[in-house]
Structures are given as structure tokens and as C-alpha cells.
Chain A
Amino acid sequence: MLTKRIIPCLDVKEGRVVKGVQFVSLRDAGDPVELAKFYNKQGADELVFLDISASHEGRETMVDVVRKTATALAIPFTVGGGIRTLEDMKRLLRAGADKVSINSSAINRPQLIKEGSDYFGAQCIVVAIDAKWSEEDGTWMVYTHGGRNKTEKKAIAWAKEAVALGAGELLVTSMDQDGEKNGFDLPLTKAIREAVNVPIIASGGAGKVDDFYEVLHDIDADAALAASIFHYKETSVAEVKASLKQRGVAVR
């Protein structure tokens, strides 16, 4: 039976892991490869590296982080952040990443999804959607640049479009819940899950063990992603999985 996945996310800036509450204040939480080893040992099912470097040098460092991780570990991982071209995808996938995640670049040029999917297969292409509820629009809208810029796109419609273009998975982050630790955005995750047939990773808002049960069991998301609660050891991947298992959710 296919199991639900628990995915720690490592925000990497210039080769170091950082995580900010609501993407603003950043705190240094360590070396990416060491953290990857730590999470692998704890039973993480996958890892996501999100490169938030602004510089060209920072992006080169990320390729190095990817190579070192793939050299050290037999765990699948996704890399996102700053991927704008098919060439960017090639560099990361050839360095040992299993999937690449694209966000703003896919919004600016949706055809990038199709190019990546045709070249590497849909299973390598994750489209990350940062969504926030808009009273004005009466639905969730897509945001870019860490939640600063609102786009014209409605999250659900964009999810469908991305999948039609060849996305093999969606990483859905709630900008309302991110950093708040009040639990995942269940209505958002449910709406997107029902709109498409590819696996969904729910992200943003994990604050306690029970939050994972809600989104994986009640909403039937395929995977749940979290950062700070794992990095600052408020809970552990092992603890989350043990609790899920005890409550009858299939985990590895």
C-alpha cells in the first residue's frame, strides 16, 4: 500500500539552511547535508530543498548541496527556487535531485512546465503554488515572491492548468497559515485535491503532531511538508509517523 509522506523542507540560502516565520525573519538552522542525514535517519520520506539565494553564486552552491546530498544519501529529494529554464532543471536533476519544483517561473511562463515534463517526465516536475484567501475574489489567489506579490491567477484554476501542462505533483502552500503553527489549511488543500488527480503535498501551518493526521487522513493529502517544527525540534518526523501509524494511517 502506498504510504503517506512526511517531508521536511530545508530553506537554503547561500548553502545554509534558514527558515523564517511568514518568510520574513530568518534564523540559521544549519548545514543542509547534515540536516538531510538527520532527517533521513528519523524516517523522512523525502526532502525538499528550497533555494532562496538571490545571487548566482548562491545558486551554484545549491548544485553543490544537491550533489553532496545525493552522494551521501539514498533518499529522494526535490529542489525548488530560482529555476527558470530547462537548463536549470537539467543541472539540478543531473546533480542528483529527483524532482524540481517551479513556482514564479511557471506563472511567468506556463510552457516551462510542459517543456520540463516532456523532457524529464511528469514525475520530475513539481509545481509549487503559494495560495492566499482573497475576500475580494471569494477564492484563493496565487502569490509569488514569498507571498509579497498577488497574481491574477486563481489557485484552483492554476492547479488544473499546471497539471494539464504536465505537472506530476503540486506543492500547495497556504500563505495564510505559513509560520502560524495553527495547522494546515484544510479547505485549500481539499479544494485543490479535488480539482486534480496528481499527488498533493500540503504545506504551511504545521504546529503539532495532530495537524498531520488532519491533512493526511481527513483531507487525504498525499504528503505533508513542514520546516520549523522539525528544525527547532518541537516534534520529530519519527514522532509524527509513530502517531499516524497508531491512528491507522499508512506510513513507512
Chain B
Amino acid sequence: MKIGVIDYGMGNLFSVEQALKRLGCDVLVSADQTSLLACDALILPGVGAFQDAMKRLHDTGLIALFDKVVATNKPLLGICLGMQLLFEESEENGHWQGLGIFKGYIKQFSGKDSLGKSYRVPHMGWNDLQFAKSPTWLDQLPEERYVYFVHSYFATEMDEGDLIAYAEYGDVRVPGIVQKGNVTGMQFHPEKSGECGVYLLQHWLHAVEKGVATL
């Protein structure tokens, strides 16, 4: 099975690539739309600022890829910033339009809860996932549920139906896994999340292979 990692010049592609290879996938890291669309599924990674990432997607023309991904029901997994880009808008350093596949916008952690108690930003480290429901690509929830988060912004005002799992931080419900049709997002880094990360990636890949990664 061949997985395409979208290379638009943002982020830690090497770790994602290695995690997929450890799970037995052929991996293509590329910015070429035709080659990417020939893969069985795509991964949108990303580390950095939202507006830089969107700008890179526009500059490279890769922005056009996502309509095709949705139209052809190609499984797509966005990781960390890659997940945030799938939403409508972000308030990171201004207001920036995202890909709009998911309803909702990306907001910064305030660092203070509703009682005025401060909490640390970024949200950094291992937090446990609470599952609102099971994604279509997972028939059994993982036993080990700690995953590695490192981010200062989170998705909010999203469609409840798209929320699969979340983590609690400060007084924020942090969407951890979202899914809408063929498109899945993970706010944490599954490629860095030990046992649970491996489990989630493995099941997503398995569903891709069986052609059941979409609703």
C-alpha cells in the first residue's frame, strides 16, 4: 500500500514517513499532485504557523489537491497543524482562511480558565483521549489512550457530529480526532505517540487498505 505525504515545505515529514514505513507502507513524500492522487491515501502533516502553511499550499498550487481528494473520496489524514488547516478559519496571527473541509475555527488557548486559574500554553505532553464515538476506521477503541500533544491553538465551534475524541486541558475540550467522510484529523502526533499512536495509525491504514476508511 502506498501512502502519499504532502510535502509543502512545512514540518517534520521525516518522523511521519518513518512511522508509516515501520507499519509496512510504501511512502511517497511529494508535492506533485498527480503522483499524490495515485496513492491509496494521503497525509497532510504540518508544524509551524497557520498562515505560512496556507500560503505554501497556495504558492505550490497544492491547494487544488483537496477538492480532488474530497471528490474522489481519497482517505486523507491531517496531523497537528495539518488537521487545523482542514477547518474554515484560524485566528493565529490575524484571521486566515483554511481549507474549510470541517466546520469550525482554530482558536488560541487563553492560558486562563473560566475561574481565572492559569494553565500552561502550549498544551505540551501526554494527555488521554476521551472518545465521543468510534471513528469508522476503528472497530475497537485502544486500551492505551495517552497521546502526545504539542500545540497552542485548538479547533472549536465545530460540528459535534465530526468529533471523535478529545482531551481535557484547562477548561478546554481539545478536539483530538475529527472525522468527516474520507477526511480524518489528529491534533496530536500519532507518529510520536508510542503505543496508542501506533494503534491508531495501524487501524487507519488497515481501513484504507480494506477501502473502509470513509463513511
Contact = CB atoms under 8 A, between A and B. Distances in A.
B48 A121 contact: yes
A70 B120 contact: no
Nearest to A193: B120
A76 B49 CA distance: 20
Contacts of A94: 12-14
Contacts of B193: 74
Given A5-B125, A120-B47, A122-B152, A74 B14 contact: no
Interface in B108-131: 111, 118, 120-128
Nearest to A169: B124
A98 B45 CA distance: 13
B125 A121 contact: no
Contacts of A74: 19, 22, 191-194, 197-198
Contacts of B152: 121-123, 168
A70 B47 contact: no
A118 interface: yes
Given A1-B128, A74-B198, A118-B49, A197 B123 contact: no
Contacts of B12: 93-94, 96, 98
Interface in B28-72: 47-49
Contact of B150 (A40, A71, A123, A223): A123
B186 to A, nearest CB: 13
A40 B194 contact: yes
State which size class the interface on A falls in: 35 or more
B102 interface: no
Nearest to B121: A197
Nearest to B167: A2
A124 B111 CA distance: 18
A3 B193 CA distance: 14
A63 B146 CA distance: 28
Contacts of B107: none
A185 interface: no
Given A67-B14, A93-B12, A1 B168 contact: yes
A76 B148 contact: yes
Given A123-B151, A197-B120, A45 B126 contact: yes
Contacts of B123: 2
A178 interface: no
Contacts of A1: 127-128, 168
Interface in B1-25: 12-15, 18-19, 22
